Structure 1
């Protein structure tokens, strides 16, 4: 398997930022439309019910960001400070970061190839000022792509990392063909 462009083994700044995050949880699926973004939001909200837990959601579905809509924060815009991008807080202990917050219009299309998407993921991991998080829940794009390879390689530099894989059952008709 080849390494994506903007090789994630070059983790300058990423490892340091991730060191302040205790647990990372990837939410993955082999296809779209299985409820991955909804489950990501539900996991994060459930963890954030404990006031002592600081939680972040990172939406790395660059071409189809849905967390701004799912979290009811579509109109929000990201601000920069001397310490990086400030995520959008939807609760006192629940922050969200998505390329959707960086678009001029929520309906704008993001049509990028692998290297540019991987660069954006690296920038999210390196430049978002989450502060000290207990949990970072990562909403990934559907399928298996460069984004998945990149995020796993980056996060593996700062374990522990867990994954939740969402599947749907095969229909009875599909089984017999």
Structure 2
């Protein structure tokens, strides 16, 4: 078999495989087990397929949100020379203190100890960056439109984190927001 025929064969196989995965009722290739003997992919294939798709976007937000949180704390800390918490707006501080109280009440859960920065939500991180724009972030980010862009993507984050699917075009928007940010503040 020559290389061109082999390439065509592989492309046709991949196309057929992708098409098959979209057929209703077909068990997804990835199992989702609630126990050793019970695979939800077999009993609820469409729901598991949606979960697999949503997991990709969730992972993007997981990385982006944690990166922004670390970035904000690092910038506000000024390489350990400043107390980042003192620069956080009072309303965000109050919300985080309430979250700490909830964490304390739920200490029976195996979450371990989390510091204030890890309790900051996505909208709070963006609020902190916006609040400290002139003094800390303007020279690094230079375009405040990135904050607004990230806020708009926050609606998609909420959809994913509240167990809703989002269309491919919105997944593309999430990726674009991340690319825009990483062009300015590359990890």
Higher fraction of helix: 2
Q: Which has the higher contact order (CA 8 A, sep 6+)?
A: 1
Q: Fold conserved (TM > 0.5)? A: no
Larger Rg: 2
Alignment TM-score, normalising by the size of structure 1:
0.21
Alignment TM-score, normalising by the size of structure 2:
0.20
